[in-house]
Structure 1
Amino acid sequence: MLNNDITIFVNSCDSFEDCWDPFFKLLSKNWVYDSMPNIILNTEFKSYHGYNLPIVSTKVNEGIDYRMNWSQCFLKGLDFIKTDYFIYLQEDYFINNKIDVKLINDLVEVIKSNSLIDYIGLTDNGSSGPFNETSDTRLWNIPNQSFYKISCQAAIWRKTCLQSLILEDENPWMFEIFGSIRAGRKNSLFLTVNRLKFSLKENPIIGYIHTGIIKGKWNIEIQEVFKSNQISLDYSKRGFYEKKKYSKINLALKLISKPRYFFICIWHWIFKNNRLLSSKSGFVQLK
């Protein structure tokens, strides 16, 4: 049974506490199955319980005399997972459709049965390809030259693999970029769902607006999701995200003032614009 083989890991921090109740209300509503797997909510000091869900709050910073960064909290939170595999989510992935639990269960069996598979992305966000077809028509392989081999979008992970990819001084953005390079050095398979069969807009396995919060403010599209699910909250505390007219200029000035991030962006741009030149098509046979 799924609930014995996998955990749901919700990565969060205390400053996103206002997301927890709507997130878990929607998870509870849309997880249509006879039982819910254990849920790990990764927090710093606070805890949450609701909707009769089996939630364990990690409170990873409790008893530590310094404020841990994102990757340190992430690593420590993963230690609370007791299963070999888990579903990765974040607190602002507000689920707006019935989750295809049967298919997720099938994909867990796929990763369990093949020791080479470490990751299966569950949405069409994250890697943007190029991809290779596999012998399982539901799944595509993410080759090394793909843009974002791994991401922080909804996915099934082998726990030991993810633990090996996280470095303690990286933020989420750096993790996705440099973690993808580290993933490419592994002799394992990183897969994603077939984008022609499954997407967030059409036939999603687990559907959510990408994402509910942008740069600390509400995505304006989330209002309709909450309204249709009788969720009320005070949007004024965060406000709504508005794309700044000169955001690219401001970003460039910010990056120049921080040389480390500037060179990361230059590398990122070069990789993005040259990845297709080195792409190779290939069919991947899964066991």
Structure 2
Amino acid sequence: MTNEPHLTILVNSTDSFEDCWQPFFTLFAKYWSDCPHPIVLNTETKVFSYPGLNIQCSQISVNDSSSERPSWSDCLISCLEQINSKYILYVQDDYFLNDYVNTSILYNFLQIMESESYSHIRLRETLGLGPHKPSSKYPLLWEIPQRANYRIGLQAGLWVKDRLRFYLQPNETGWQFERWGSIRARKIKDSFFCQNIDYFNGQNKYIFPYYPTGIVQGKWLEPAVVDLFKQHQIEVDYSIRGFYHLNQRQKFVQFLKNNFRKSLMRYMP
């Protein structure tokens, strides 16, 4: 990409999720091998490196004598203060890539943000969150209106760094940020968009492809990781975290989603 706006990849994590870092960056290096952007891994005190990747660890608590861990939002705020680029690609440590990043569309979205002064484009929106409004100007984008459920979301997405910081408040969990941040965002006219769900989700082809998400309630989600890690010779001791098991209702919802995608694909041009 030529003349691309300054972008940093922010991998939001915590020291207790250190076991995610090797799998995450192994897959990142595979599926975005020529990533030219700096990568910031948000940690409290720990460091990590991976061959060929420009990873900087935020270590937001390395000089903090307090034994109390900062809140989720305080950690993210401290990390953002270390980043100088105008834009960030926000991802989390269990967004394990399972296919190649579509950098052409990602950079196209970034250029749209630059030219239109958009604040956010979510790259992995799911059904049922909206309502959404198809963009009249950009066919691959849907608008996330002010009154939308989860106007603020933590799936992979491009952000103007200062706008993400604007919506963050101290002493919140990630879940609270999504809910309370969405309520805060309802009062503000801002430009939030996501990928065209009919087009991308219908084909099961994503810009930053991953199963959302690899860890649920602190446990591995088997459909997201086991076959993927085995395919890439990634060894993990699953017994340490154990597996999160879907209940019957969740299994039924997943079944409906999968069949919806298959049905939709039959009618896609």
Interval containing the TM-score (normalised by the shorter chain): 0.7 to 0.9
Question: Which of 219, 222, 233 is equivalent to 1:220?
Answer: 222
Give the drift of 1:54.
0.3
Q: Does 1:8 align with 2:14?
A: no
Which amino acid letter does the alignment assign opposite residue 114 of structure 1? E
CA contact (8 A) 1:47 1:57 kept: yes
What is the TM-score normalised by the length of structure 2?
Answer: 0.86
CA–CA distance in 1 between the matches of 2:45 and 2:191? 36
Which amino acid letter does the alignment assign opposite residue 29 of structure 2? S
Question: Which of 208, 211, 217 is equivalent to 2:210?
Answer: 208
Which amino acid letter does the alignment assign opposite residue 62 of structure 2? E
SS at match of 1:109: helix
Which amino acid letter does the alignment assign opposite residue 61 of structure 2? N
CA contact (8 A) 1:12 1:42 kept: yes
After TM superposition, the runs of 4+ consecutive aligned structure 1 residues lying more than 3 A away are 1-4, 243-247
Q: Does 1:230 align with 2:230?
A: no
Where do 1:152-163 residues align within 5 Å? 152-163=154-165
Which amino acid letter does the alignment assign opposite residue 236 of structure 1? S
Match of 1:97 in 2: 99
Q: Closer, same or farther in 2 for the Cα pair 1:139/1:22, shift >3 Å?
A: same
Q: Deviations over 1:199-236 (max 9, x none)?
A: 28611111111110111111011100101111111111
* Higher mean C-alpha displacement, 188-197 vs 238-247: 238-247
What is the TM-score normalised by the length of structure 1?
Answer: 0.81
Match of 1:19 in 2: 20
SS at match of 1:199: helix
CA–CA distance in 2 between the matches of 1:130 and 1:65? 45
CA–CA distance in 2 between the matches of 1:52 and 1:29? 11
Unmatched tracts of structure 2, length 5 or more: 251-269
CA contact (8 A) 2:4 2:111 kept: no
Match of 1:143 in 2: 145
Match of 2:262 in 1: none
Over the aligned positions, Cα root-mean-square deviation in angstroms equals: 2.0
CA contact (8 A) 1:8 1:89 kept: yes
Q: Closer, same or farther in 2 for the Cα pair 1:39/1:245, shift >3 Å?
A: same
What is the identity percentage for the equivalent residue pairs of Structure 1 and Structure 2? Answer: 36
Match of 1:122 in 2: 123
Which amino acid letter does the alignment assign opposite residue 175 of structure 2? W
Match of 1:55 in 2: 55
CA–CA distance in 2 between the matches of 1:206 and 1:246? 28
Give the drift of 1:124.
2.5
CA contact (8 A) 1:218 1:235 kept: yes
Q: Closer, same or farther in 2 for the Cα pair 1:124/1:199, shift >3 Å?
A: farther
Match of 2:245 in 1: 242
Q: Closer, same or farther in 2 for the Cα pair 1:127/1:80, shift >3 Å?
A: farther
Question: Aligned pair count?
Answer: 245
CA contact (8 A) 2:123 2:194 kept: yes
CA–CA distance in 2 between the matches of 1:21 and 1:200? 31
CA–CA distance in 2 between the matches of 1:126 and 1:14? 32
CA contact (8 A) 2:120 2:193 kept: yes
Which amino acid letter does the alignment assign opposite residue 48 of structure 1? F
Match of 1:182 in 2: 184
Q: Deviations over 1:246-276 (max 9, x none)?
A: 99xxxxxxxxxxxxxxxxxxxxxxxxxxxxx
SS at match of 2:19: helix
SS at match of 2:198: coil
CA–CA distance in 2 between the matches of 1:183 and 1:200? 28
CA–CA distance in 2 between the matches of 1:29 and 1:87? 18
